Chain A
Amino acid sequence: MVPFAGWEMPVQYEGVIAEHRAVRADAGMFDVSHMGELEVEGPTARDLLQSMLSNDVDRLSVGGAQYTLLTNEAGGIIDDLIVYRLDEHRYLIVANASNTDAVHDWLKEHELRGSDVRDVSHEYALLAVQGPKVREKLGLPAAAAFTWAMGELDGVEVMINRTGYTGEDGVELGCMADDAVGLWDAILARGVTPAGLGARDTLRLEVCYPLHGNDIGPQWDAISSGLGWACALDTDFTGVERLREIKEHGPEQKLVPFRMTEKAIPRQGMAIAAGDGRGEVTSGSLSPMLDVGIGMGYVPAAASRAGSELVIDVRGKPRRAEVSKKPLYKKES
């Protein structure tokens, strides 16, 4: 167990690689109750979210979910979020644990007459159950990604979200905090492998999902971070003017995925040489599926094209890598 944003979190149960493979081939479960939940409610809730969040909240209907960003004036990312529309005037925001207070305070400061922002993190638990066998093991019907519905699983009332952080089919189940242990045990009894933070990190890295605090943050604008697709630049939100400029002129540096072409494992903070330019590794690991070192990092835009050669400074030793397309790992179909 390790301390993480004020929570005691398991890094691994049986081992990172075994847990990683269980999620890719079968079904794994992560306790992600540390993640923050905010409820935004009221007749002007939509207006508040539309003016604060990067994506177009009007494209979100009741029963839907949307990936979006809370941005600062420079277009930097305060947090990346998933917003669920609960009903006409009520939204649920799932935020990263260490940013929940910042997101809450930011929204609270900008609260409009007729909108109410509440931190409900401690009322709910969240279990991410991910992998190709999840629906079969949990007895759930197929549903579109980024949708949600209420349901019942082994006697527990759950919000079944078709979202995740692994690149696999699966669900994230929200329940009342008091029901969480019972739900966890019931899902284990259905033959799902418990998995820790370690596997969560390697799984998301293989499919190039950025981790806030590593790959994205307030110091990098959303366009450079490759999240322009989650920014509706035709709407008004904090930092949108700056993002429009960056989009028009092209970012100076870009967050890119890469794989090592020499035997080595990149790690966060290592320097990257890309031609005459320099960059930095923001996430790195061994890929359990590809069995090579993989990572993400910022490089000059000129070196961001897939196939560009990078040299990573691995504790003093230069090791070659190559910019890849997203995702780094894709299931053979």
Chain B
Amino acid sequence: MAATESYPDDLKYHPEHDWARVDGDEAVLGVTWFAQDALGELVHFEPPDVGAIVAKDGSYGEVESVKAVSELVSPLSGEVLEVNQQVVDAPETVNDDPYGDGWLIRIRLTNPEERDQLLDVAGYRDVLNEGSA
């Protein structure tokens, strides 16, 4: 069943509705509750290859619902270390648990200071409120 709306305060956010959980020189990336809710039930995750280089603010893949396609925007630059195969096999995992089992990729950061440019949860909530105003 779909998750209820939440935005954990230990994450960094990108205004394109992507999140990063930074741990040392690595980060796990995913999409926010708002993004999965806007898309509806996800039916396809087109991941990058392991070893691919992703750039901050660049596209690293796509997620699709029955009716829509959305590019995934990387909040940070790095090299892809791992793709979440559970989401490849069962994309609806993102709807069920966008911040837990529904993570998308893990990267090694090539420019860790970029994290300072990301939003904290209060900043991201401001983005959401502006969008609905």
Contacts and interface: CB of A to CB of B under 8 A. Distances in A.
Interface of A: 11-12, 15-17, 198, 202, 263-265, 267, 285-286, 288, 293, 315, 317
Contact of B62 (A198, A285, A315): A315
Interface in B64-81: 64-67, 69
Contact of B41 (A11, A16, A263, A265): A16
A202 B67 CA distance: 9
B69 A286 contact: no
A15 B64 contact: no
A293 B91 CA distance: 14
B15 interface: no
A16 B67 contact: yes
Contact of B67 (A11, A264, A317): A11
Nearest to B92: A17
B46 interface: yes
A226 to B, nearest CB: 24
Interface in B1-57: 40-41, 43-44, 46
Nearest to A18: B41
B67 A263 contact: no
A15 B65 CA distance: 10
A202 B66 contact: yes
A198 B129 CA distance: 28
Nearest to A16: B66
Given A265-B69, A286-B43, A315-B62, 15 more contacts: A11-B67, A12-B40, A15-B40, A16-B40, A17-B43, A17-B66, A263-B44, A264-B44, A264-B46, A265-B43, A267-B69, A285-B67, A286-B64, A315-B69, A317-B46
A15 B37 CA distance: 11
A195 to B, nearest CB: 13
Given A264-B46, A315-B62, A17 B41 contact: yes
A105 to B, nearest CB: 32
Nearest to B89: A263
A206 to B, nearest CB: 12
A265 B67 contact: no
Contacts of A288: 66
A63 B66 CA distance: 38
Nearest to B62: A315
14 contacts: A11-B67, A12-B40, A15-B40, A16-B40, A16-B66, A198-B66, A198-B67, A202-B66, A263-B44, A264-B46, A265-B64, A265-B69, A285-B66, A288-B66
B2 to A, nearest CB: 9
4 closest cross-chain pairs (CB), A and B: A286-B43, A16-B66, A265-B44, A265-B64
A11 B41 CA distance: 13
Contact of B66 (A263, A286, A317): A286
A16 B40 CA distance: 8
Contacts of A16: 40-41, 65-67
A285 B62 CA distance: 15
B43 to A, nearest CB: 4
B40 A286 contact: no
A286 B62 CA distance: 15
A16 B92 CA distance: 13
A74 to B, nearest CB: 32
B104 to A, nearest CB: 16
Contacts of A198: 66-67
Contacts of B67: 11, 16, 198, 285
Nearest to A199: B66
Contacts of B41: 15-17
A101 to B, nearest CB: 27
A256 B67 CA distance: 21
B90 to A, nearest CB: 10
A124 to B, nearest CB: 28
A293 B66 CA distance: 10
Contacts of B65: 16
A272 B126 CA distance: 43
Nearest to B95: A15
A281 B79 CA distance: 34
Contacts of A263: 44
Contacts of A317: 46
A17 B67 CA distance: 11
